[in-house]
Structure 1
């Protein structure tokens, strides 16, 4: 059934409780990737989904397997990633104690970190739940789902699954609402567009609309690449700069597309605008937060932008935004980013010059990534993935493995800090096993640098921010990976270029010493 629904890869770990889920995988033509830990399997499924646009599927066992994958499920939930986790479960837990992998309420535990968690007690129920999950992945804001199947049912016989149902059409824009939007947008002298990750598929139309309207723009971190690099009226992915509120206050119309302006986008309560807004989103929860005078459009961002562009035909842009003002502001904010985390910005520039334009990057919770997200402009959207909402350490390495599996033959890279690498370093063995040409930039500042800085700002004596690290180069080599320690920025660029052509993963061990 999964193969008929387009699944070609499953990430997971088999155990005695879920081994029946593995019967027939090879006959169906599905590849199974063996993770070293269920957390790794979940992050791989997440990375695969973000890279491929298809749901990431993971198999785990009862109890600890479900608990271990709950962190990736929480990450996928916060970042709207389509992930399907299928697990086994015990047949009876209320009247029988002391069973292997027993939990009090596994289904409810999983439900706390995903869209829904259901138990399939018949084959038909399993089939229906899987089709429901796939329909919802396409028809509304994607979010992870969990289906558990009792062991006795997994071991039972079942009729073949039904044929795939017709695909749900995406919600399209209402021409009457488009006409009203055009009227409001063309009257604005300082229109400001804000693009989030929900508009990632809409970048051709988004760029055309911005040019036609003469609008200034921001993107969220997840929306980077939607606006063309070098757009003279683009403020970039700098919403978290406190002064971005002053820019929003200057607008006489704000258009929010595919973004919920979450705390991790703004790091303040509001965008800062005092004008009317147009909100375009598929999530009713986001639309419900709009102010009473705003216009709300529940539809697909790409369709809305394309219809808007078509309706703008003949409109001559007349804007009060000035390119020189935008450039001055961006230069100031870039200098702030460099001052906050000294020396990282030049390395970001050098790295960006060294990687192919279509490189897909997975980053972790590390100071290097925090700086890069603001200054590294992307050529196209959906090519930089980060654990934005849940903020899980250890995400980058396994997620990049999942992305590389989805993009065989295309460049994929991971950026992770020394402490985050500890969380999922065992998944390096998977990259070796699969022969993935995966550069892993390991930024080692010898501490939890961001936490230390935060403690100092809070006038707390830094405590528990330094951990003993292994020799990461020897560790990588022990796994069978390549490893290199660049001594300069040119060395770093050369190492990255070589890693994309290597026969396996390359750990590129980078320390502040390379800054000179």
Structure 2
């Protein structure tokens, strides 16, 4: 039956599997809220649109389904643009739906008016479009969900004029049959097989897009060594003896890569934030596998390029090699272990004191724990040295590099995995960007440990200034009493004085029935 378009959109989203929407209602988008409960969708009320966006991001990373957010015209959209930029950088499927003013060219001074909010959003997402009719709105939503499946997943924005949201509209059409992704067949992997037949020291580099359970089997069969990017951690794990871990950014990794006689990079941009150098360091032929043609055409200049889904590529490759005799490797476990020991020592020397805390945490965490970290020195150490038991269980704002990500993203992740352990890690400065979302975690009764690494300053920036021979300036800010702050929101708060006490506090926090802020300082060591 006919309903206002805002209500029809909620029903359309539910028909496409959306169970949760994150957002904040306002007079300009209230029509979008008319149909939420009727459609059977849960709404999570954020304290700030930035928090809503990070929650949608965290939900998407935890579930694999698009995170959806509702925001108002103007400031609501501009507030969520930072999470949209982060989701674009890290290939996270997110759909942001906003209202917009009916007329802006001939009128000035309206509530929430921006000069061009569609164009503003387009700067930080895959695409931003205006739906001026119900038919256009339905078509854009359908397009977004189709592209989430078939293309590199990235955020989309759809805005609809207020009068159009209020107007009666027919129901949305039922979901289409999703498009199919082309199979990877024997001829597609044949060029790689030819190179693998003569390679003695093949090296695979697996990124966040290389999702498959087959990689360790493939690596063992080929006698291949492997690096992962930060986003690819867990694809290989700690038990594979020829795994170099997520140490691509260590200067010595270029020398190791140069010693390979074949490099295969799958599902990775090999971006600046992966390498912190311009060139990977390879001298041998390179094979690239990726969904994104822009990645295949980058400055690394791959010898062979295959535009394909990484999971289908892994399956096709395994089908061709699984019955072959296992190759003798030109790599040795000893050389890999020696390199990793050296790099761990470098990481510990650069940011002393954090590695022992990581080891203590790792001892007591369940392998089912999903972790969300912020831009903080603690995470920079952890994402280098902490081998994950499975992929996509540690989420970090790698590319865009925004502060304030961890807490709201962890809330979204916990909503997406009810009853499963979720943890946030933040620094004292970045935590204050979105600390108001503590109220959401308390309202939802989330047993969410929030590890707060408090060194009393912007330590990474201070270190960078000193390295550049700049007198440190504006790197120290007065912090609140974080424990009292958490308690004021209704959360629990702990300040352990030793690593053993930290472990006990953390174990208790996972069953607390409310969030627990765990205040860690270098002095606890």
Report the TM-score when normalising by structure 1.
Answer: 0.98
Equivalent residue number for residue 517 of structure 2: 507
For residues 447 and 211 of structure 1, what CA distance do their matches in structure 2 show?
A: 45
1:159-238 equivalences in 2 (<5 Å): 159-199=170-210, 201-202=211-212, 204-238=213-247
For residues 291 and 69 of structure 1, what CA distance do their matches in structure 2 show?
A: 33
For residues 78 and 136 of structure 2, what CA distance do their matches in structure 1 show?
A: 23
1:370-385 equivalences in 2 (<5 Å): 370-385=380-395
Unaligned runs of 5+ in 2: 1-11
The answer to whether the 8 A contact 1:341-1:371 is kept is: yes
Q: 1:274: how far off? A: 1.1
Q: 1:318: how far off? A: 2.1
| Partner secondary structure for residue 360 of structure 2 | helix
Q: Does 1:240 align with 2:249?
A: yes
The answer to whether the 8 A contact 1:14-1:60 is kept is: yes
Q: Which 4+ residue blocks in structure 1 deviate beyond 4 angstroms?
A: 290-293
Equivalent residue number for residue 398 of structure 1: 408
Cα deviations by residue, 1:387-421 (Å, 9 ceiling, x for unpaired): 00000000000000000000100000000000001
For residues 498 and 210 of structure 1, what CA distance do their matches in structure 2 show?
A: 39
Q: 1:179: how far off? A: 2.3
For residues 375 and 164 of structure 1, what CA distance do their matches in structure 2 show?
A: 44
Equivalent residue number for residue 396 of structure 2: 386
Could you tell which deviates more after superposition, 401-410 or 318-327? 318-327
For residues 368 and 296 of structure 1, what CA distance do their matches in structure 2 show?
A: 37
Unaligned runs of 5+ in 1: none
Equivalent residue number for residue 113 of structure 2: 102
Equivalent residue number for residue 435 of structure 1: 445
Equivalent residue number for residue 408 of structure 1: 418
Equivalent residue number for residue 484 of structure 1: 494
For residues 11 and 164 of structure 1, what CA distance do their matches in structure 2 show?
A: 22
Equivalent residue number for residue 52 of structure 1: 63
The answer to whether the 8 A contact 2:208-2:268 is kept is: yes
For residues 360 and 185 of structure 1, what CA distance do their matches in structure 2 show?
A: 35
Q: 1:135: how far off? A: 0.6
Equivalent residue number for residue 4 of structure 1: 15
| Partner secondary structure for residue 518 of structure 2 | strand
Q: Aligned pairs, how many?
A: 513
* RMSD (Å) for aligned C-alpha atoms: 0.9
For residues 293 and 357 of structure 1, what CA distance do their matches in structure 2 show?
A: 36
Q: 1:290: how far off? A: 6.6
Q: 1:293: how far off? A: 6.2
The answer to whether the 8 A contact 2:95-2:155 is kept is: yes
Q: 1:184: how far off? A: 1.3
Q: 1:309: how far off? A: 1.0
| Partner secondary structure for residue 347 of structure 1 | helix
Equivalent residue number for residue 138 of structure 2: 127
Q: 1:46: how far off? A: 0.3
Equivalent residue number for residue 276 of structure 1: 285
For residues 178 and 473 of structure 1, what CA distance do their matches in structure 2 show?
A: 56
Find 1:325's aligned residue among 327, 331, 335. 335
Could you tell which deviates more after superposition, 113-122 or 280-289? 280-289
Cα deviations by residue, 1:103-141 (Å, 9 ceiling, x for unpaired): 000000000000000000011100100010011111011
Cα deviations by residue, 1:476-514 (Å, 9 ceiling, x for unpaired): 000000100001001100111111111110000000011
Find 2:506's aligned residue among 489, 496, 499. 496
Equivalent residue number for residue 359 of structure 2: 349
For residues 69 and 255 of structure 2, what CA distance do their matches in structure 1 show?
A: 44
Report the TM-score when normalising by structure 2.
Answer: 0.97
| Partner secondary structure for residue 429 of structure 2 | helix
